[in-house]
Amino acid sequence: MASRGLWEPALVRRIDEVADFIRSSFTSIWSLELLLHLKAEPWVAKTREQLIGDLRASDAVVSASVASLLAAGLIVEEEGHAYRYAPASEDLAALVEDIDAIYRKQPDAVRRVIVVGKGNLAAFADAFRLRND
């Protein structure tokens, strides 16, 4: 059986979309970690203090992450300054699902997209080529 890659047109567009979403929505790896932490229990709203303790992060890191995730429409603020995972649309939820799955398999590829930015789409795509095993 021949090796298939992610270079099929629909898959390339999806990788482009996921990479663009990562670059535009996550200001740091901390913001991705915070989002995935909230996503694990979407029915639970957590205060900034709880997030600081859960993630072992600084107030500055959590504050910046919360601000960027609120602006991206990925979390909501509830009474008592608590935050809960709640994507503003089904499209955003689907992108987060894709990122969550990719991050579990290839965390370094996602981290590179966040840290390096736009110039790393080819490396991101290469990390997900399907090989003939």
Enter the pTM of the model: 0.78
Q: Whole domain around residue 27: which residue ranges? A: 9-123
| Arithmetic mean of pLDDT, 85-93 | 96
Pairwise CA distance, residues 88 & 102, whole Å = 21
Residue type, 52: I
Contact call for residues 85 and 42 (beta carbons, < 8 A): yes
**CATH code of 66's domain:** 1.10.10.10
pLDDT of 1 over the 70 cut: no
Confidence of residue 4 (pLDDT cuts 50, 70, 90): very low
- Residue 13 in any domain: the answer is yes
Distance of CA 100 to the CA centre of its chain: 6
pLDDT > 90 fraction of the chain, expressed in percent and rounded: 57
Residue 131 burial (CB < 10 Å; 0-12/13-18/19+)? exposed
Number of domains in the chain: 1
pLDDT at 128 (0 to 100): 52
pLDDT at 117 (0 to 100): 66
- Residue 80 in any domain: the answer is yes
Sheet containing 75-78: which strands, arranged edge to edge? 46-47, 82-85, 75-78
